[in-house]
């Protein structure tokens, strides 16, 4: 399967030693659950986009320090391309910023959360079990690093999972578009390093709690399996 990674940001130079850039993190995660994914990298935050949605079978859209409502040219272009993916029927999986831009591209709304930052390990509760969620679980723990959240989903969306601090934790649009607010690709040391760099922005108490939460078990392998299954799932009868 040909997988296009839409890179919406890059890891800071001083943190690259932890797990590399996003083009290393995502293949490393999915290599644990499949040997069939061949990645092509698109540095969209620097203007490198696929010519056509048909270039890949599935697109993964990464997180970003940017906000989806910023006026940057590449963000507007990415919204248009996400719309092209939707119309093409190709699969799309958005992670954090990619989850939010899915909402904005198809008519939803994203803003800064009144709750503030979500960092560290959070428990997601599954609201609508679907066939590709195999192995099925009623909840899962995944790392988060976000301030913006999806406040309104696009018309025709299905809300799949939530957390107490993030009501739209995971949602699907149609049979081919999926967004999740969490970061299954992040190793815990990288999440910790980001928290430590952003203490002034996040708040010392929330960072302290976030770092303490890293002691909890995380289910990134379960989520990687789900996302792999979603990418392979051909039945539109959800």
* 215 is annotated as an active-site residue: no
* Active-site residue, selected from the candidate residues 96, 118, 146, 166: 96
* 200 is annotated as an active-site residue: no
Tell me whether the omega of the peptide bond preceding residue 85 falls within 30 degrees of 0, making it cis. Answer: no
* 125 is annotated as an active-site residue: no
* Active-site residue, selected from the candidate residues 8, 45, 122, 183: 183
* Active-site residue, selected from the candidate residues 45, 104, 146, 185: 185
What positions carry a catalytic annotation? Answer: 96, 183, 185
């Amino acid at each position: 399967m040909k997988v296009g990674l839409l890179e919406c940001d890059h890891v800071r130079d001083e943190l690259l030693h932890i797990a590399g850039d996003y083009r290393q993190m995502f293949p490393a995660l999915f290599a644990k659950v499949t040997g069939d994914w061949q990645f092509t990298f698109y540095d969209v935050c620097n203007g490198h986009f696929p010519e056509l949605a048909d270039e890949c079978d599935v697109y993964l859209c990464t997180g970003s320090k940017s906000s989806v409502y910023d006026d940057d040219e590449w963000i507007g272009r990415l919204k248009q391309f996400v719309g092209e993916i939707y119309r093409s029927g190709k699969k799309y999986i958005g992670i954090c910023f990619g989850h939010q831009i899915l909402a904005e591209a198809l008519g939803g709304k994203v803003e800064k959360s009144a709750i503030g930052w979500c960092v560290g390990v959070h428990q997601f509760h599954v609201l609508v079990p679907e066939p590709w969620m195999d192995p099925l679980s009623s909840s899962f723990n995944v790392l988060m690093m976000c301030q913006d959240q999806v406040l309104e989903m696009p018309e025709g969306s299905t809300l799949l999972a939530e957390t107490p601090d993030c009501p739209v934790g995971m949602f699907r649009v149609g049979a081919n578009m999926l967004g999740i607010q969490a970061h299954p690709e992040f190793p815990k040391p990288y999440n910790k390093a980001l928290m430590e760099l952003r203490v002034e922005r996040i708040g010392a108490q929330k960072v302290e709690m976030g770092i303490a939460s890293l002691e909890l078990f995380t289910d990134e392998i379960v989520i990687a399996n789900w996302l792999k299954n979603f990418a392979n799932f051909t039945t539109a009868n959800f």
